[in-house]
Chains A and B, each alone.
Chain A
Amino acid sequence: MQKQEYTITVYTENQIGLLNRIAIIFSRRKINVESLNTSPSEVDSVHRFNIVITETEEVVKKLCRQIEKQVEVLKAYYNTNDEIVWQELALYKVPTAKIAEEVKVERLLREHGAHTVVIRKDYTVFAVAGHREETDKLIRVLEPYGLIEFVRSARVAIIKDSEGFHKKLKEFENREPSRQVIENEYLDKNREVFSM
């Protein structure tokens, strides 16, 4: 099996210590987490993690089961890049004087979809949301114009065919939740099962 980029989406209770519990599932297996984002989800009291790793599907599947096993984890999904819509936010700090001098810079920024966040006499901060390659490209573009500082956020991702978590959460609250909620989705993907 080939390694590729996977985005893991985890819905959890909002509990101190859970970040560590999830993080050590990766570090224990010496797996590098390329990006990690955690924030409240659309559902009250439920947090959402996005974790990006490059691994084989088999490894990712096992990791998701280990994550789901944690008491305070509601659900874990994994997706390839074509199953999600994702963005990373990048901020670029450039000397304001340089931009004033060179009209070209303004055009370049516009071409890259950057918008201005702050303008000060000494520097200006631009923001771009996009994929890694796009935000990387803009670094190279801005370097000749004295890029002072650059920062990029973790990936945030929406699963294309997901229906959100409101309905699922209601089910979790039931004592006898539906099979779909309880079950790890991957069971049905276990191709070998009925191949006899």
Chain B
Amino acid sequence: MQIAEIKKEQQGSTGLKNISGSQAVLDAFVAEGVKTVFGYPGGAIMPIYDALYDYHDRINHILVRHEQGAIHAAQGFARASGQVGVIFATSGPGATNLVTGLADAMIDSTPVVCVTGQVFAHLLGTDAFQETDVINITTPVTKWNYQVTDASEIPSVMAKAFYIAKSGRPGPVLIDITKNAQLQLFETEEYQPCEHIRSYRPSPIVRKEYIVEAAKLINAAERPFVIFGQGVILGNAEKEFIRFIEKAGIPAAWTIMGMSAIPTDHPLGVGMLGMHGNYGPNVLTNECDVLIAVGMRFDDRVTGRLDKYARQAKVIHLDIDPAEIDKNVKTTVPVWGDCKETLPLLTSLVEKKLYPGWLQRFKDYQQKEEEKVIREELNPTNEILTMGEVVQLLNELTGGNAIIVTDVGQHQMVACRYAKFNQSKSNITSGGLGTMGYALPAAIGAAYGAPHRTTVAIIGDGGFQMTLQELGTIMQFRPNVKILILNNNFLGMVRQWQQLFHEKRYSFVDIQSPDFVQVAKGFGIPGQSVCERKDLKGAIKTMLDHQGTYLLEVMVGKENNVFPMVPQGRGVAEIVLCREDV
């Protein structure tokens, strides 16, 4: 009743051929090249869903089963495609269900735009049905957010939203639109993408003199070491980065977020940094003389104890976000700017070199890690299956060409330690926030973001139960996702810590699971469960060969641990290789 009245009133009062706020939102999406939206309808966003009905030929809407699923899917989409992921949700509970995903996208710099419905503007602040203060709830977890109460603002606000989400250091943006603004008819001109906001500097001006200083340090170095993060991927600077390390001849290690920016078997690639990273890069961080950090933010999971981190090294930090410089690690030479721009400048100034002796040190550590950890993980001497051997077989069967989406826990660390990648944007995981439940929806999004690639979601038995409702989304829309559950019948990572640091007091980590194969079957998804080595390879092959989504559960060792490990509160050089050394 009310809605019809408003519509009528507005048409009557203007008499012009106008569009509604809802149409303006969708026109903005079309103009921004959005083809896929993940969403869930509700009262306060019904006008937009009503308009969407007429856009189904241009916009593919994926109806998820929970708004958290929508935003993780949009994140997976963004990470696999390099484009902005887009989400619709209703007011109140719809919007609050987005918060975990926003926090995740914020800390992992993932470009997403959420559009939430809001109650009528005249009801704001009245505790109206499904009213929550979405703007204030989401302020700490958005790069930018804005509430629209008048439709005439929508085109410029949407343009700003996309520009802010994807430019500079990317991040999540939320636009909250009151219902009256969605319904309101207004006159508008053709959509203008945003290219400049006067108070916003997506990337700082590059200072050549700092690049000269950085090159001097590098050229004088005897044991230079490059560590890199997702900035290389977000900046589309993979080629520039490889040219840099190849000319300078410097060994390079990745953070979990930087993984896949260079092929994992690159001769200068020396592995993963961090708590469960490789032995050499962690230990040698504290022996290099010049540490060159590219597009990474020195997370504590990477640095371990800061006062024992690379104290001997001169530090060069390349980052697009000035707030990252000196935030955790004091830099000797800061190189602000987009690494796509700064890396070639640096490459042109560094001397062509090789450091065979230094590189050999990494290989020596690698050898020790092979003997003490990797060999047994990949070729176990008993009949209990390990997560590592599953990942190894997956590498073999996909040739390293798959997108691997991981959840959070032991399986995540093992997957990142052993997965092989040939191309960028292939490792999708919740790095900064460590959000269990991320993998299944993110894999759905990745399958839309890179439809011609194989997407494998590696998930623990715990994390899978956090968002398994998204099997319904798969059932309905049929994205092609290979679901690989590594079931250790425990909340494995927490159990590992309880074993190592809490005298094996296993407090509430013995999680029970349903029959996952049966559950999948209920959603029309075929699958199987294996517990014996002889069946493993065939089962993975069946999963990969299947046209469409398939669920494979692998029963792995209950109390296997992930090593090496930099125990919390210790320096990176204090990394341990086995339980006895903790």
Range of interface residues on A (Cβ < 8 Å): 20 to 34
Contact of A193 among B136, B146, B205, B332 (CB under 8 A): B332
Q: Is residue B534 contacting chain A, with contact meaning CB distance below 8 A?
A: no
B323–A24 CB distance below 8 A: no
Q: Find the B residue at minimum CB distance from A27.
A: B140
Q: Which of A28, A65, A175 contacts B322 (CB 8 A)?
A: A65
CB under 8 Å from chain B, chain A span 49-101: 61-62, 65-66, 68-69, 71-74
Interfacial residues of chain A within 1-53, with CB under 8 A of chain B in the complex: 12-13, 16-17, 20-21, 24, 28
A13, A21, A69: the one contacting B321 at CB < 8 Å is A69
CB-based contact B332/A196 at 8 Å? yes
Kindly identify, within residues 115 to 144 of chain B, every residue whose CB is under 8 Å from any CB belonging to chain A. Answer: 135-136, 139-140, 143-144
- How large, as a class, is the contact surface on chain B? 35 or more
Interface segment out of the listed A133-141, A143-151, A177-185: A177-185
How far, in angstroms, from A192 to B332 measured CA to CA in the complex?
6
Give me the 10 closest cross-chain CB pairs, A-B, nearest first: A65-B323, A172-B198, A74-B199, A71-B144, A71-B200, A69-B323, A179-B205, A173-B198, A72-B199, A182-B205
A194 touches B199 (CB 8 A): no
Shortest beta-carbon distance, B378 to chain A, in Å? 43
Other A-B pairs, 13, CB within 8 Å; known A179-B205, A190-B326, A192-B332? A17-B139, A17-B147, A65-B327, A68-B323, A73-B199, A74-B198, A169-B198, A172-B199, A173-B198, A179-B207, A193-B332, A193-B334, A194-B213
CA distance A68 to B333 in the complex (A): 21
B353 within 8 A of A: no
Please give, as numbers and ranges, the residues of chain B lying within 8 Å of A183 by CB-CB distance: 204-205
Residues of chain A contacted by B343 (CB below 8 angstroms): none
* B201 located at the interface, meaning its Cβ lies under 8 Å from any Cβ of chain A in the complex: yes
Question: Chain B 537-577 against A: per-residue CB contact (8 Å), 1 yes, 0 no?
Answer: 00000000000000000000000000000000000000000
Q: Are A182 and B213 in contact (CB under 8 A)?
A: no
Q: Chain B's nearest CB lies how many Å from the CB of A16?
A: 8
Query: Which residue of the partner chain A has the closest CB to B144?
Result: A71
- Residue among B144, B147, B205, B217 with the most chain A CB within 10 A? B205
**Residues of A with C-beta under 8 A to B325:** 65
**Are B322 and A184 in contact (CB-based, < 8 A)?**
yes
Contact with A along B162-203 (1 / 0, CB 8 A): 001000000000000000000000000000000011111100
A68 to B331, CA, bound (A): 20
Residues of B within 8 A of A71 (CB): 143-144, 164, 197, 199-200
Query: CB within 8 A of A13: which of B147, B164, B199, B322?
Result: B199
Given the contacts A20-B136, A69-B321, A192-B332, A182 and B198 also touching, CB distance less than 8 Å: no
B497 shortest CB reach to chain A, Å: 26
**Interface assignment of B429: CB less than 8 Å from any CB of chain A:** no
Q: Is there an interface contact between B334 and A187, defined as CB atoms closer than 8 Å?
A: yes
Bound Cα distance from A99 to B198, whole angstroms: 54
The listed residue (A20, A62, A179) touching B327 by CB distance below 8 A is: A62
CA distance A61 to B322 in the complex (A): 11
> What are 25 A-B pairs with beta-carbon distances under 8 A?
A17-B136, A17-B139, A17-B145, A24-B139, A28-B140, A62-B323, A62-B327, A65-B322, A65-B325, A66-B323, A69-B321, A69-B323, A71-B143, A71-B164, A177-B201, A182-B204, A183-B204, A183-B205, A187-B207, A190-B326, A190-B331, A192-B330, A192-B331, A196-B217, A196-B314
Q: Is B523 on the interface with A (CB-CB < 8 A)?
A: no
Q: Is B210 interfacial (CB-CB < 8 Å)?
A: yes
List the B side residues contacting A184 at CB < 8 Å.
322
Give Cα distance in the complex from A20 to B136, angstroms.
8
Q: In the assembled complex, which residues on chain A have CB atoms less than 8 Å from the CB atom of B140?
A: 24, 28
> Chain A CB within 10 Å — which of B204, B314, B322, B336 has the most?
B322
A40 vs chain B, min Cβ distance (A)? 15
Q: How far is the CB of A94 from chain B (nearest CB, A)?
A: 39
B135, closest chain A residue (CB): A17
Residue numbers in A under 8 Å from B201 (CB-CB): 177, 182
Contacts of B213 in A (CB 8 A): 193-194, 196
CB distance from A60 to the nearest CB of B (A): 13
Q: Which residue of B lies closest to A194 (CB)?
A: B213
* A192 (CB) vs chain B CBs: closest residue: B332
Residue of A nearest to B315 (CB): A192
Give residues of chain B (204-227) contacting chain A, Cβ–Cβ below 8 Å.
204-205, 207, 210, 213, 216-217
